[in-house]
A and B are shown apart, each in its own frame.
Chain A
Amino acid sequence: AQRVTQPEKLLSVFKGAPVELKCNYSYSGSPELFWYVQYSRQRLQLLLRHISRESIKGFTADLNKGETSFHLKKPFAQEEDSAMYYCALYSNNDMRFGAGTRLTVKP
């Protein structure tokens, strides 16, 4: 069965500092990986997906099959990035999420 691990429940950085939110997965097939974000008082929403190799709001995430990781990175964090971030793995019509990391960007 697929499994997603986000080792950090809380992460705090200063504005302008780089940030990396860790995500590791366990899955025997070819994974479809996503990052979802929930800002304060908003709905959970898609941030980015690995297949698109896109940069959204300055965030990128690279799939590393050797390390089974899909870490989310941003070179210069902004205060508005403060939110709850969830890594997710999709397979066989089933989407499973990690426990989430709460990112706080301090001024």
Chain B
Amino acid sequence: GAGVSQSPSNKVTEKGKDVELRCDPISGHTALYWYRQSLGQGLEFLIYFQGNSAPDKSGLPSDRFSAERTGGSVSTLTIQRTQQEDSAVYLCASSLVTGFAGANVLTFGAGSRLTVL
């Protein structure tokens, strides 16, 4: 597609349920990022993928969070046993990885708004 697609755009779930958020990056973009955007917390880094591997998982808030990427394309962020503090907008972004300084620009999706009741 022409842009980064995220689904669902909105998800309301009950505390304790598992949720899956999906990101479809721009074709050919090797790097994929997940961020969490919540009121008062700004843009919190969660994880990034280079191809299918995730060199840095340190941003995941707890072991209830996991992410995978397959085929160097689609990524899924899974939150198990959701808690109310997980409520936020989850943003995905992708980029080409180049060797040129300043060229590593992220293109963002519209986000998935998660509400945990």
Contacts and interface: CB of A to CB of B under 8 A. Distances in A.
Contacts of A45: 108
A31 to B, nearest CB: 10
A94 interface: yes
Interface residues of A, number: 25
Nearest to B105: A46
B106 A46 contact: yes
Interface in A49-65: 49-52
B56 interface: yes
B102 A97 contact: no
A50 to B, nearest CB: 7
A86 B35 CA distance: 13
A49 B105 contact: yes
B110 A95 contact: no
Interface in B82-117: 91, 93, 95, 97, 101-106, 108-111
Given A43-B109, A46-B106, A51-B101, A93 B55 contact: yes
B41 interface: yes
A70 interface: no
Given A93-B97, A99-B41, 4 more contacts: A9-B40, A44-B91, A95-B104, A99-B43
Interface of B: 31, 33, 35, 40-43, 45, 48, 50, 55-56, 91, 93, 95, 97, 101-106, 108-111
